[in-house]
Amino acid sequence: MGLGQSLFAPTSIDFRIIGEKGVAQRLLEEAEQKDFYVEECRDDHANTLARRGSTYGAREMPAEEVSFLKVIVENARDHLPLRLRTELTGPVWLVALDRSAEGGMPHTRPDQIICYPDVYRTFSVSTLLHELWHVHQRLYIGWWTEVFRRMGWERWVSEDDLPLTLESHRRFNPDTLDAPLWCFQQTWLPIPVFRDVVSPKVDEVDVWFYHISLKYHVKSIPRELKAEYHPSLPLSAYEHPRELTAYLLSEPERYRDCPAFQKLASEVGDISFPVVT
Ligand SMILES: [Zn+2]
């Protein structure tokens, strides 16, 4: 059976808000056994340095935070795209991390965990949608690879390595760790690079664009990408097609007016957009 054709499609996502630190920590440990994200960061000099003074671990969720999260989830529930409702079949776990983790940025871990360090600062319906799309991208890697290919993106697996200046300052992202490098129109390879090479910080990153055949890089968005994507997308969206598509799908009203959006919409269909009630 193809995607979205299940006869017994659930009509809602099974969200599980994990208030207890111990339970959350066990989920994170299971995730670590699958993606080795914390270990990968630890094994890399710049990524270790960028996370100094921060702790990656679960924390207890106070009752008011659980209530707040419930409200966000309930507000989102009726608007969730049909594709997410029918294709995210297992539970989606919502886990609170130490507030210092990952510069406060929400992210996902395998297979269906949404982690957020600071719910009040960063959790909204559009953030929830963005993270749910990352969960979907984890579960349907082959399908997304094809969507990206049709949008001009191909995974970059080359005999040549990235120049050391780029590779040694590349910020790891848990949502893209398994396949970090993708090339647009066989030309431009975006790379998230720590802004300060001496004193890197996980939340201070620029995106550089490496020209794979001419082997130079630029620090501003190349015109080929500018022509496709909406000018109000944040620079950080350009680091990876998973980020670009998560942005486009979680705020369609904002980003609708660009060629990439039209291409994406024709690939993923109406069932991928929030339900307007
Ligand atoms: Zn993201």
pLDDT tens by residue, 221-236: 999 999 999 999 999 9
- CA 232 / ligand 1 centre spacing (Å): 16
**With 80 as the cut, is the pLDDT of residue 250 above it?**
yes
- CA distances 135 to 36, 63, 212, 216, 251, Å, are 17, 26, 29, 33, 17
What band does 61 get if pLDDT is binned at 50, 70 and 90? very high
* Two structure tokens written together for 28: 């994170």
Question: What is the reported pLDDT for 58?
Answer: 98
Distance 102 CA to ligand 1 centre (A): 12
| Ligand 1 centroid – CA 127 distance (Å) | 9
Q: Residues 139, 271, 89, CA angle at the centre, nearest 5°?
A: 35
For ligand 1, the distance from its centroid to the CA atom of residue 207, given in whole angstroms, is 14
Peptide bond into 111 cis (omega under 30): yes
CA 247–ligand 1 middle distance (angstroms): 7
User: How far is ligand 1, taken at its centre, from the CA of residue 65, in Å?
Assistant: 22
**Centre of ligand 1 from the C-alpha of residue 7, in Å:** 31
Tokens of 96: 């609170």
More confident residue, 24 or 8: 24
Map residue 94 onto helix, strand or coil: strand
Alpha helices in the chain (DSSP H): 21-35, 37-42, 45-50, 63-77, 82-87, 119-122, 125-139, 141-150, 164-167, 223-226, 241-250, 252-255, 259-268
Centre of ligand 1 to C-alpha 246, Å, is 6
**pLDDT (0 to 100) of residue 6:** 47
Q: Please give the distance, rounded to the nearest whole angstrom, from the Cα atom of residue 131 to the centre of ligand 1.
A: 6
Measured in Å, residue 211 CA sits from the centre of ligand 1 at 24
SS (H, E, C) 128-197: HHHHHHHHHHHHCHHHHHHHHHHCCEEECCCCCCCCHHHHCCECCCCCCCCCCCEEECCCEEEEEEECCC
How far is ligand 1, taken at its centre, from the CA of residue 175, in Å? 7
Task: For 149-200, write each residue's pLDDT tens digit.
Answer: 999 999 998 877 889 989 999 999 999 999 999 999 999 999 999 999 899 9
Residue 191 CA to ligand 1 centre (angstroms):
15
What spacing in Å lies between the alpha carbon of 134 and ligand 1's midpoint? 7
What is the model's pLDDT at position 276? 81
- Choose among 64, 68, 112: nearest CA to 88: 112
Output 251-260 pairs: Cβ under 8 A, ≥24 positions apart.
251/126, 254/230, 255/230, 257/230, 258/228, 258/229, 258/230, 259/227, 259/228, 260/151, 260/228, 260/229, 260/230
CA of residue 157 to ligand 1 center, whole Å: 22
Q: Which residue has the tokens 């996902």?
A: 108
Which band of pLDDT confidence, cut at 50, 70 and 90, is reported for residue 2? very low
Rounded alpha-carbon distances, angstroms, from residue 34 to 51, 64, 80, 138, 212? 21, 32, 27, 12, 31
